[in-house]
């Protein structure tokens, strides 16, 4: 295990990594769970992941050019008591028999407001509750047996200004966060609603998401029609650059 520098646009951070033959820092993927399935708006899956787009039980990506990437490394949900840093309320899709500790399946269950005050402030009564002392989690059925949609009951309170976790756990640029927040997407990400972004303000993101399109204003994926009620897909605009193997 080697300690070195991991690439972060806008700064450097210390993390566990190895080095590619081209001398580029490639991070071991400890910002996610092993067998977690994440959606990317990129033309490739990062190192230490497998492209499972179109596989049985996974299905096609919602928009052409996007892909589902399954983690081959990371925290093991059965053995590791602590998982990756995550946003409170963030929804992770994991190929497992149950959700990790500190997560709840998105089955519409009711939670006590006083026991989960921070989470309540993020989603309020959007998904139900009795209007007094309980609120409901979103109900997102798993598409296939063996895959769980897991909502974080603990984690970093999302800021509108940017990611508040440690540098080594920044999410990948070009990946999609799935959140149920009333206020929208956390800082460092933007709602994947098909808007057009200027390439010159974030060239790395343009290379990942807008590659092949003329340099200038380029569209990001529009996932509004695929998001269930009040669930938002947030494209990470500031994060770690996903490097190939």
- Total domains present in the chain: 1
Q: Which of 80-94, 115-129, 163-177, 208-222 is modeled with the greatest confidence? A: 115-129
Is residue 43 domain-resident?
yes
**Domain assignment present for 205:** yes
Structural domain includes residue 90: yes
Question: Can you give the pLDDT at residue 244?
Answer: 83
Q: Mean of the per-residue pLDDT values for the chain? A: 82
Tens digit of pLDDT for each residue in 135-160?
A: 999 998 876 778 899 999 999 999 88
Model confidence at 122: pLDDT above 60: yes
Q: In the predicted model, what is the mean pLDDT of residues 204-220?
A: 88
pLDDT reading at 214 higher than 60: yes
Range(s) of the domain holding residue 199: 33-236
124 falls within a domain: yes
Q: What are 98-114's pLDDT values in tens digits?
A: 898 899 999 999 999 99
Using DSSP bridges, classify how beta strands 147-152 and 25-27 pair: parallel, antiparallel or unpaired: unpaired
Cβ-contact 206, 216 below 8 angstroms: no
Q: Does 9 or 231 have the greater pLDDT score?
A: 231
CB atoms within 10 A of CB 174: 26
The beta strands (E) that lie in 20-102 are given as: 25-27, 36-40, 49-51, 67-71, 91-95
Q: Is residue 7 part of a domain?
A: no
Q: Is residue 244 part of a domain?
A: no
pLDDT at 81: 62
Q: Which pLDDT band holds residue 201 (cuts at 50, 70, 90)?
A: very high
- Please give the average per-residue pLDDT across 225-242, as a whole number: 89
Q: Residue 228: is its pLDDT beyond 90?
A: no
CB distance 235 to 221 below 8 Å: yes
What Rg value do the Cα atoms of the chain yield, rounded?
18
147/184 Cα distance (integer angstroms): 26
Whole-model pTM? 0.83
Residue 15 resides in a domain: no
Does residue 17 fall inside a structural domain? no
């Amino acid at each position: 295990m080697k300690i070195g520098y991991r690439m972060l646009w806008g700064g450097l951070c210390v993390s566990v990594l190895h080095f590619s033959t081209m001398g580029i820092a490639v991070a071991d993927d400890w910002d996610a769970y092993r067998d977690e399935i994440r959606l990317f708006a990129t033309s490739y899956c990062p190192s230490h992941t497998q492209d499972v787009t179109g596989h049985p039980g996974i299905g096609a990506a919602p928009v052409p050019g996007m892909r589902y990437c399954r983690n081959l490394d990371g925290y093991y949900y059965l053995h590791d008591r602590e998982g990756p840093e995550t946003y409170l309320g963030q929804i992770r899709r994991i190929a497992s028999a149950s959700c990790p500790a500190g997560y709840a399946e998105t089955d519409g269950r009711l939670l006590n407001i006083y026991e989960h005050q921070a989470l309540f402030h993020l989603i309020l009564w959007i998904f139900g509750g009795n209007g007094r002392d309980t609120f409901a989690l979103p109900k997102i059925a798993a598409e296939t047996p063996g895959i769980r949609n897991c909502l974080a009951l603990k984690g970093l309170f999302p800021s509108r200004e940017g990611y508040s976790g440690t540098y080594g756990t920044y999410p990948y640029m070009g990946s999609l966060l799935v959140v149920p927040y009333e206020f929208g997407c956390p800082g460092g990400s933007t709602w994947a609603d098909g808007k057009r972004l200027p390439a010159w303000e974030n060239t790395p993101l343009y290379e990942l998401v807008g590659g092949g399109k003329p340099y200038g204003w380029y569209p990001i994926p529009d996932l509004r029609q695929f998001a269930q009620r009040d669930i938002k897909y947030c494209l990470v605009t500031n994060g770690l650059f996903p490097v190939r193997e």
